[in-house]
Amino acid sequence: MKHYTVLKKESIEGLAIKEDGVYIDATLGYAGDAIEILKRIKRGKLFAFDKDLEAINYSKQILSDTKKEFHLIHSDYVNITEKLNEYGISKVDGILFDLGVSSVQLDENRGFTFMREEQLDMRMNKEDALTAKEVLNTYSYEKLKDIFYRYAEEKKSPWVARKIVENRQTKPFETTFDFVNCIKQAVGEKYFYEHHPERPLFQAVRIEVNQELDHLQKALEKSIALLKPQGRLVVITFHSLEDRIVKKIFQKYSTIDEKVKGLPEIPEAYLPKLKIINKKVIVPTVEELKENSRSASAKLRIVERTNVK
């Protein structure tokens, strides 16, 4: 099973791993990052989250060879605090989020890709109820338009939403090509081949199915609270909306509140809880882009927890 881990060296270095630290891989996937973390800890622990049970089972076999302490948790990272509490963990030394769909999931028959005809599923966790098929076949025109505007930022969202509602009256959406052909009909061939709206529109449906942006925002807030002083939070995004959320939250916790900036002594409650480590976002090198074109949109941001409670 081949999976390429994007910005692996930079993200692992960003964690500044301690040999006896407690670390969280919030997006286990197929253990690319988890293996590197375990290589660097001796008496430490790793807790890894994933919604995909297949990824959990595969990674368990791979990581068992390391002989290090790790715990794999079949759960969305939005439950990070609650699940760690079950293990008696209230503070950690580092947390890594490597967002987006893994290469393995893209290559599976889950409907994440518009390049092949597959069933419209798009669930990261196969136990979840909502699928892409249900979104396209049951959501109202207004709801579809809103999803496409917000998550795809597609100017022709009304056209696409209207065509979906129209087409499903005669034939329900079943496959990825049903969706692709509908998009092409809605926007016209010239616009379709010049702007490729299918890419962001597929992402929009995937984000809705998995509630990715809402869960990310909640998980980041929880992660900041979990970090020990000098603990690191490392996030790799692949989507402009994800990166916007990360950037906004990091800025919120790394700047002094405007209300108290002019005071001679600022109360601790208003001091920054985070320090931004990389002022300039880290992106893949030319060499990495040659090796894996899917890494093109990746952005890496690193912050460190201050001593402020």
DSSP 114-144: SSS--BS---SSTT-S--HHHHHHHS-HHHH
Are the beta carbons of 174 and 183 closer than 8 angstroms? no
Average pLDDT over residues 238-256: 94
Based on DSSP, count helices (H) and strands (E) in the chain, helices before strands.
14, 7
Average pLDDT over residues 102-131: 82
More confident of the two residues 44 and 297 = 44
- Interval 186-240: pLDDT, tens: 999 999 999 999 999 999 999 999 999 999 999 999 999 999 999 999 999 998 9
Residue 257 is predicted with a pLDDT of: 78
Q: If you search the block for the tokens 């998995």, which residue do you land on?
A: 210
Its sign, for the CA torsion 100, 103, 105, 108, is positive
CATH topology identical between 8-104+212-305 and 109-210: no
| Buried-state track 45-71, b at ≥16 Cβ within 10 A, e below 16 | bbbbbbbbeebbebbeeebeebebebe
Task: Break the chain into its structural domains and give their ranges.
Answer: 8-104+212-305, 109-210
Residue 4 is predicted with a pLDDT of: 56
In the chain, the percentage of residues whose pLDDT exceeds 90 is: 76
* Alpha helices by DSSP H, the chain: 8-15, 32-40, 53-64, 80-85, 103-107, 132-138, 141-147, 157-167, 176-187, 189-195, 198-210, 212-226, 240-254, 286-291
Pairwise CA distance, residues 138 & 160, whole Å: 15
Q: Report whether pLDDT(1) > 80.
A: no
CATH, domain 8-104+212-305, list 3.40.50.150, 3.40.630.30, 2.102.10.10, 3.40.50.980: 3.40.50.150
Q: Report whether pLDDT(108) > 80.
A: no
**CATH assignment, 109-210:** 1.10.150.170
- Interval 140-185: pLDDT, tens: 999 999 999 999 999 999 999 999 999 999 999 999 999 999 999 9
CA angle centred on 259, ends 254 and 265, rounded to 5°: 80
Q: If you search the block for the tokens 């809103």, which residue do you land on?
A: 146
Are the beta carbons of 238 and 297 closer than 8 angstroms? yes
Residue 105 is predicted with a pLDDT of: 58
Which residues lie closer than 8 Å to 130 by C-beta, 6 or more apart? 123, 209
